[in-house]
Chains A and B, each alone.
Chain A
Amino acid sequence: MKIQNALIPALAAFAAPGLARAQDAARSIDQIVNENVGAVTGPFVNFIFAPLPGTSFPWIVLWLVVGATVFTIYFGFIQFRAFGHAIALVRGDYSNPKDAGEVSHFQALATALSGTVGLGNIAGVAVAVSIGGPGATFWMILAGLMGMASKFTECTLGVKYRNEYADGTVSGGPMYYLTKGFGEQGRAMLGRVLAVLFALFCILGSWGGGNMFQANQAHAQLVNITGGADSFLNGAGWITGLVLAGVVFVVIVGGIQSIAKVTEKIVPLMAVLYVGAAVIILVTNADKIGWAFGQIFAGAFTGLGIAGGMVGALIQGFKRAAFSNEAGVGSAAIAHSAVRTKEPITEGFVSLLEPFIDTVVICTMTALVIVITGVLMIDPDTGLYVWNAEAGRIATVGDVSGVALTSAAFANVASWFPYVLALAVVLFAFSTMISWSYYGLKAWTYLFGESKPAELSFKLLFCVFVVIGAAMDLGPVIDFSDAAIFAMAVVNIIGLYFLMPIVKDELDSYLSRLKSGQIRKFAV
């Protein structure tokens, strides 16, 4: 430890002149990229995040929520009806023991979850609660519950229309169900256009939200715990970027799955640790839980002093839920399509647990901890939250936001928790990058064919974007990649509207066979 303490400043001092030059270079490249990318992508970003006329409500959020509501009603509240059955499927009650060794429902769910559980649950919720007040949590939970129906629809289609190759490997996702499903309906041309658009947006999203944003935030958190402005990493994002890119490179290009495997094992552990710490905080403050839920319900409809009132809470809640669980985006359909099942609908059932775990459980935990630990300032006279107009959010203890706010809330109870949180953020970021590198690759090979050179070119580009993401403050690029992820949802949900009758047929057939006893649990 002592050696480390002496080594880090020494290394930093040694590298300082080089770092400064690199920063200057990075800054100029940064500016060039910002200007060029911003000019080209600005209109697209503005279009995707445009508010509905006369409101500040982004239409894209409404698009996701309307989609989730339509699927919820069309499938008769399937997320509630099939919840118990979904758990039985994950437990393997309906899995044929003869298929042991194949991908289980649990594994597909865990892998898809490792792609979504991450910064959205830690930083995103803090943003939602600090801007939209505790009431945002109510709308976030509601959006999470509705989003379960979107996941159900897309993941069922993902398995039904996947490609199975002679060597036993599979490729699935919206690109395939848009092409094949629309083809079956006699709309081959439209399906092909939507599939190509989806693939394009997915590639951009994988480079941006699924990569640069993650690298960028992981670096920010590392700077934060190594001394903030005084940190040797401050302004040297390329160091974090190179290390991260190196690890990503050996996993996705070198095929060294053991690193990814270690991460995939640590990520659930981190998630358990995170939720466990939140539960401990909630238990030790059990007397305040009733009050916190009171704040959440009251804030959902009144705003409790936040600038946007009820609508402000609603926008933030819906927006962060969508960012966090990706329901309707189509990404999960790619991960879930590898499961071995004769019934595509079973994967739909399993996938509906994803927004529940991600949003209804984990995001709510974060929100409750933030509300209960009192890091949001309340005016003792009025009982309303103190609005910091300059920052555009509720005033917080220590004047922090995002992941730093969650960190501060946990630090209130355990001073060492920010270090665990930093590790969690880096690991979550890494696992999200691994997942999105795969989603992007599938979209890439859909467009350019499944060949080794095509795959390698995508993977190398992906690694380059890790460094760029960590090293630069690329506002327009990040905005564009977020917009690309949401654009995936535009294309995907159009597709789901057309294809939902197919899912309905699958559902009716499966449920009738389940009722008649034709589909039974396997005896243990």
Chain B
Amino acid sequence: MPKQVFIVAYGGEDKTVVNLAATHARKEGAKLHIVHVLEWSPYSFLTPQELEERHARRKKELARAEEAVMTPVLTELRAMGVAAEGEILYGSAVDLILQVTKEQDAALIFVGRGETTLGARVFGSISIGLAQAAPVPTVIVP
């Protein structure tokens, strides 16, 4: 029987969410799938100079995210004996996490509460978005 998959929405700073997900994954023998989203809209406006440099910047951003976020967290989880994989994606965090949840046929989502600013409360944050739309149980970690 294939292992259950838990999705972890990881912004790169909040280790609490990763640790809690790791504890549950170990208990239930599940695999963690870390999703790190670089917020991006194809409808944002760029200057001609930014258009020219976009491809190069994207390569740098991906390399930096891989080096500073994904590799450390995966190494740490594997060292703890937790099966873990990860992917770095561009786009809207909520949409992408929902999409990956579907692709991976995941059983659970872990997400940090994230921003508690007024803006996030009014316009929504990743955790609020997931709480509203997630197709599977979602753990919001304070």
Chain A residue with the shortest CB-CB distance to B50 = A257
Is A340 on the interface with B (CB-CB < 8 A)? yes
Decide if B58 touches A108 in the complex (CB within 8 Å). no
A65 to B65, CA, bound (A): 50
Contact A264 B61, beta carbon cutoff 8 Å: no
Contact A334 B91, beta carbon cutoff 8 Å: no
Contact between B48 and A435, CB atoms less than 8 A apart: yes
Cβ of B4 to closest chain A Cβ, rounded Å: 25
Chain B: minimal CB distance from A438 (Å): 4
**Whole-angstrom distance between the Cβ of B135 and the nearest chain A Cβ:** 16
Q: Size range of the interface on B?
A: 20 to 34
Residue in contact with B47 in the complex, picked from A170, A264, A334, A339, CB distance below 8 Å: A264
> Cβ of B46 and Cβ of A264 under 8 Å apart?
yes
- Does A232 count as interface, using CB distance less than 8 angstroms? no
Q: For B44, list chain A residues within 8 Å (CB).
A: 107
- Determine how close the nearest CB of chain B comes to the CB of A458; give it in whole angstroms: 13
Tell me, in angstroms, the Cα distance from A257 to B51 when the chains sit together. Answer: 12
Check A106 against B48 for contact (C-beta < 8 Å). Answer: no
Of residues 416 through 456 on chain A, the ones whose CB sits less than 8 Å from some CB of chain B are 434-435, 438-439
* Chain A residues in 8 Å Cβ range of B58: 101-102, 168
What distance in Å separates the Cβ of B61 from its nearest Cβ neighbour in chain A?
7
A309 interface residue per 8 A CB criterion: no
Known A-B contacts A257-B47, A264-B46, A338-B48; A102 and B54 likewise in contact (beta carbons under 8 Å): yes
Q: Given the complex, which residues of A lie within 8 Å of B62, measured CB to CB?
A: 101
Task: Determine the distance from Cα of A335 to Cα of B47 in the docked complex, in whole angstroms.
Answer: 9
For residue A332, give the distance in angstroms from its CB to the closest CB of chain B. Answer: 11
Determine the chain B residues whose CB is within 8 A of the CB of A97 once the complex forms: 91
Residues of chain B within 8 A (CB-CB) of A95 are 42
Are B90 and A167 in contact, CB atoms less than 8 angstroms apart?
A: no
> Is A55 in contact with chain B by the CB < 8 A criterion?
no
CA distance A340 to B55 in the complex (A): 8
B43 touches A103 (CB 8 A): no
Asked if A382 is at the interface of the complex by the 8 Å CB criterion, the answer is no
Contact of A167 with B47 in the complex, beta carbons under 8 Å: no
- Considering only residues 51-96 of chain B, those with a C-beta below 8 Å from chain A are 51-59, 61-62, 89-91
Other contacts beyond A169-B52, A335-B48, A434-B47: 13, CB < 8 A? A97-B91, A100-B40, A100-B90, A101-B38, A101-B61, A101-B90, A101-B91, A103-B51, A107-B44, A115-B48, A171-B52, A267-B45, A438-B49
Pick the 5 closest A-B CB pairs, nearest first.
A168-B56, A101-B90, A104-B42, A438-B48, A338-B51
